[in-house]
């Protein structure tokens, strides 16, 4: 039997923290042994800490129910109990910046679901199939901060993953994109619990999500960027205009995307072939959470749909459809992913698997 790597989850009682535990329940590489949350939950058994607010569709995994929850703000509590921390804490931005840096400074590999460090120039914003080479900045990050063992990586905004893999697949195949207009239809779970009130969402769409459009327009440039002089230099060659909307869907972010190519325009059949043939390092390494295939193209005229497609590849596959000519740009299509799996906990776990496979965590 393979010896499992001991991991902790801070922010373990929130929706994303709960999703981490569901996905870690039977993970072949990682053993969740340390759970931490706010001082209000600290000292309680996990099942008591989430009593009345367990939001997953299956019961609390038995292995986690009796674990005593610690105070996430007391980093010393985790020392010696695990080496990898998944961060899903809900605090103000500066507090998260400070806390995650403190964990890394104590020697932990920190994989964060939060946005706080996404603009930190030497912190990779990871979509493992796209920018796996950004992990090479970790030694420079450690040297700059005097961290001998710990480091910090983050996942991107949950809304961009429904289209970043399809766009990257085209770029990788030699068809660079110059312009994108994106309209996202984002699920309620993306707002956490309790999220928008029922009165706000029933029979309604809310055409504003604070900070979401800015993240959607900025983060792709960093993900597509290159390591230069100890920092990740963004690739700003794609101009992006985003419209982000909250819709009454439980899980699954949808994006309607129009794209213009920077050079030669591939035929529609070629685009579909590129998407269907796309594979990357996580698939080559056969990482446990890596979906095969990572992109599915659905030919049905009314797909993808959240109810029917969000769970593809155990929630890690991006489903695309409705590829057609665009009257303004070159093509338009619809992309969909599971925002709390690929877009949150599952994406972070895949990043951690890549870190382990490449020897960054031992």
- Residue 153, beta-bridge partner list: 111
Across 339-351, b (16+ Cβ under 10 Å) vs e yields bbbbbbbbbbbbb
Q: Which residue has the tokens 């900070």?
A: 211
CA distance 271 to 249: 29
Phi and psi at residue 166, to the nearest 5° = -60, -40
Task: Give the residue numbers annotated as catalytic, written as ranges.
Answer: 158, 253
Residue 359 burial (CB < 10 Å; 0-12/13-18/19+)?
exposed
Q: Are 124 and 134 in contact (CB under 8 A)?
A: yes
Give the pair of three-digit tokens for residue 222: 């960093």
């Amino acid at each position: 039997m393979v010896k499992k790597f001991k991991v902790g989850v801070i922010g373990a009682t929130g929706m994303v923290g709960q999703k981490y535990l569901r996905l870690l329940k039977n993970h072949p590489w990682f053993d969740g042994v340390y759970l931490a949350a706010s001082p209000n939950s600290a000292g309680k058994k996990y099942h008591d800490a989430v009593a009345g607010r367990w939001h997953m569709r299956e019961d609390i995994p038995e292995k986690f129910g009796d674990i005593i929850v610690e105070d996430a703000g007391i980093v010393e509590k985790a020392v010696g109990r695990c080496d990898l921390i998944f961060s899903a804490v809900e605090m103000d931005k500066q507090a998260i910046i400070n806390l995650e840096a403190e964990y890394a400074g104590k020697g932990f590999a920190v994989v964060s679901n939060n946005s706080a460090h996404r603009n930190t120039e030497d912190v990779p914003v990871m979509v493992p199939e796209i920018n796996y080479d950004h992990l090479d900045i970790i030694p420079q990050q450690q040297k700059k901060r005097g961290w001998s063992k710990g480091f910090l990586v983050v996942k991107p905004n949950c809304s961009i993953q429904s289209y970043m893999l399809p766009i990257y697949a085209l770029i990788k195949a030699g068809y660079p994109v110059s312009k994108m207009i994106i309209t996202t239809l984002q699920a309620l779970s993306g707002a956490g619990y309790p999220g928008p009130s029922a009165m706000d969402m029933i029979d309604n769409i809310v055409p504003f999500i604070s900070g979401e459009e800015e993240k959607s327009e900025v983060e792709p440039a960093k993900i597509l960027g290159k390591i230069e002089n100890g920092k990740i230099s963004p690739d700003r060659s794609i101009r992006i205009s985003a419209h982000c909307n909250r819709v009454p869907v439980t899980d699954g972010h949808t994006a309607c995307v129009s794209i213009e190519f920077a050079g030669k325009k591939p035929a529609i059949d070629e685009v579909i072939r590129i998407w269907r043939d796309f594979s990357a390092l996580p698939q080559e390494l056969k990482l446990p959470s890596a979906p095969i295939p990572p992109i599915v193209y659905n030919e049905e005229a009314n797909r993808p749909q959240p109810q029917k497609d969000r769970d593809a590849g155990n929630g890690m596959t991006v489903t695309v459809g409705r590829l057609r000519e665009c009257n303004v740009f070159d093509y338009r299509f619809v992309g969909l992913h599971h925002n709390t799996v690929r877009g949150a906990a599952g994406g972070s776990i895949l990043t951690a698997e890549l870190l382990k496979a490449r020897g960054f965590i031992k």
